[in-house]
């Protein structure tokens, strides 16, 4: 686990910003049950009214951390919704039955890394989202927050082979048609395979593209 502070705030614009405002140090955790202006990847908004938002401050990240946190988070969350299968949408969003349950945002501020996680806990009236309550979990927000933070610290210890193998078992994109952006190029094709630490294989009319994992983003809503 960790040896830092745990700062719990009833409402914040985002736990990422709050971690900076409260000068949280490496190992510290910021928790909120009402995030009003959270951010997701690709500048998407992630508000957590009815959910839990957690930010953990880390000193450094391994190259595979983005994959490792998705794998550990999915496994941990699956323990509290055991009748469902938690899947990963590239690179680290969590989905259940095609609906988004949780997301991860990693940012660097000064010389620290902020690992933010948002998860829907209470039922929400959005067609493309789901929540722990809808999936049958009766866990409290406090216990969910502890689980999210624990997932981050666990992910720091995963080696590349273990992280990639765990991630692949929960992938939800192989065999589907997706639009992806790699560098400045946007292409559409059938996802043949994903090695989350290295490459994504995409079948297009002209052949098979091998795209670098580090610079490739899925842009099709799933």
Mean pLDDT of the chain, nearest integer: 91
21-47 per-position pLDDT tens digit: 999 999 999 999 988 766 555 445 555
Domain boundaries, the chain: 6-168, 177-218
pLDDT digits (tens, 9 = 90+) for 57-94: 999 999 999 999 999 999 999 999 999 999 999 889 99
Give the tens place of pLDDT for each residue, 105-148: 999 998 899 999 999 999 887 889 999 999 999 999 999 999 99
d(CA 35, CA 47): 5
Helical segments of the chain, H only: 15-21, 65-78, 141-155, 160-168
Cβ atoms of 56 and 155 closer than 8 Å: no
6-168 topology per CATH: BirA Bifunctional Protein; domain 2 (3.30.930)
Paired residues of 88 in beta bridges: 94, 171
Q: What residues pair up with 199 in beta bridges, in sequence order?
A: 212
Residues 6+ apart with CB under 8 A from 9: 15, 18, 30, 31, 32
């Amino acid at each position: 686990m960790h040896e830092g502070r745990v700062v719990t705030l009833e409402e914040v614009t985002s736990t990422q910003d709050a971690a900076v405002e409260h000068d949280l140090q490496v190992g510290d955790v910021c928790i909120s049950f009402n995030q009003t202006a959270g951010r997701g990847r690709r500048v998407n908004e992630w508000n957590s009214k009815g959910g839990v938002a957690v930010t953990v401050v880390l000193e450094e990240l391994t190259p595979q951390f983005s994959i490792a946190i998705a794998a550990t988070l999915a496994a941990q969350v699956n323990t509290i919704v055991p009748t469902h299968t938690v899947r990963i949408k590239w690179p680290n969003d969590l989905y259940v039955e095609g609906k988004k349950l949780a997301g991860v945002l990693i940012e660097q501020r000064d010389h620290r890394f902020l690992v933010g996680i948002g998860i829907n806990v209470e039922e929400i009236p959005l067609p493309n989202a789901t929540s722990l309550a809808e999936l049958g979990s009766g866990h409290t927000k406090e216990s969910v927050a502890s689980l999210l933070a624990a997932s981050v610290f666990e992910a720091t210890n995963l080696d590349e082979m273990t992280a990639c193998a765990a991630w692949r078992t929960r992938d939800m994109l192989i065999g589907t048609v997706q639009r992806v952006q790699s560098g400045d190029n946007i292409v559409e094709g059938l996802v043949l395979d994903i090695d989350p630490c290295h490459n994504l294989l995409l079948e297009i009319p002209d052949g098979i593209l091998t795209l670098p994992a580090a610079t490739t983003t899925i842009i099709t809503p799933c």
